[in-house]
Structure 1
Amino acid sequence: MTEPARPFTIAVFCGSSTGNDPVYLEAARTVGRTLAEQGIGVVYGGGHVGLMGAVADAALEAGGQVTGVIPRALHEREIIHDTVSELFIVDSMHERKLMMAELSDAFLALPGGPGTLEEITEQWTWAQLGIHEKPCGFLNVAGYYDPLVVLVESMRDRGFTHPRYTGMLRFSDSIDELVASFRSYEPPVRVAASPGSEMSNLAPVQP
């Protein structure tokens, strides 16, 4: 008997707090509910607190598949979400990010702190290096990621990343738009950088 096909799955990175504006919590709930209603699996950090807990709760309430991946140290602090569909306990933060990447078809960042930013930008870096070919998106709630858009454009304009790589990123205030862009995403042809640049260690130009 063959196992059922795994649904399209999105890794969601977001804050372990809710921020100081109710709009963030509302957006997190909308994301969880929307993904579940579209039959999209959710992979997230496994906690029950903050925006991450809100995404998981909303997805579960809507009948969605939610997979948590949490490091043992955080599990021992009892912040774990114990009603998710599937839970993996790993030994380190690195193992958590690696497993989330392996289980997912795309990556989505909601508002969050430095941990959220580190998680999503690492996946962008892995995509640039050819470790995977999955898209990264940002739900730009109330303009939260506007400063990041400016920074990414500055990286491109000042020659620290190629326009094809900035094109791997998706920014929108609509979860439906982001999901549609993930489903239709085609990875760019990776390019070689000029000698001596920070990108010169990447793979050569593809024919």
Structure 2
Amino acid sequence: MRAALLGAWLILAPVSLVAGHAQAQTAAAADMVFPQSASQGALVIGKVPAGSKVQYAGRTLRVSGYGSVVFGIGRDATGPLQVQITQPDGSTQTVSIAVTPRDWPVERVNGVPPKTVNPPADIAARIKREQAQVTAARDRDDARTDFAQPFIWPVQGRISGRFGNARVYNGQPGAGHSGMDIAVPTGTPVKAPAAGVVTFAAPDLYLTG
């Protein structure tokens, strides 16, 4: 499954665990279980017969040896979402998942250096290169099931930014925040929130440190 992204900077998974309805919708064909609904920005964990092929949003998802499948719902996604399952016997099933909208708070960040908000050409080129590296690390798809284990807080401290919140820098609207920020003093030990593989590490990314 998608490897955890840990390095000199830390991004907590840009999705919250699905809290959908307590009821689950179970496909009549076999042991397929998905939530009836999930919120924007949620992580969906479903169950299908081992050996099934699962497709969502134009891509084929990895299915674990025991039939678990996981995918994230976009911050601004609208539903219903369609998940296509092809079972080992060739039969197909489409599962529909309603998307519950979320009211994302606005975080106003002032005093940001102007060249960070509106970077000059050379800085913009650097940011583009670095974002390509981050995207490549996030796009890895390993046969791991670390998502199924309990997660812990990597450090205790003041929450200074939350996933999904709309960011306004120096009065200028930016993209939704893609992580959870925890403010602690420099040098504070930080733990991995779960088992995983380090896929990217860099000493100084322009936007994220």
**Class of the TM-score when normalised by the shorter of the 2 chains:** under 0.3
Q: TM-score, length-normalised on structure 1?
A: 0.24
- Greater share of strand: 2
Q: TM-score, length-normalised on structure 2?
A: 0.24
Q: Which has the higher contact order (CA 8 A, sep 6+)?
A: 2
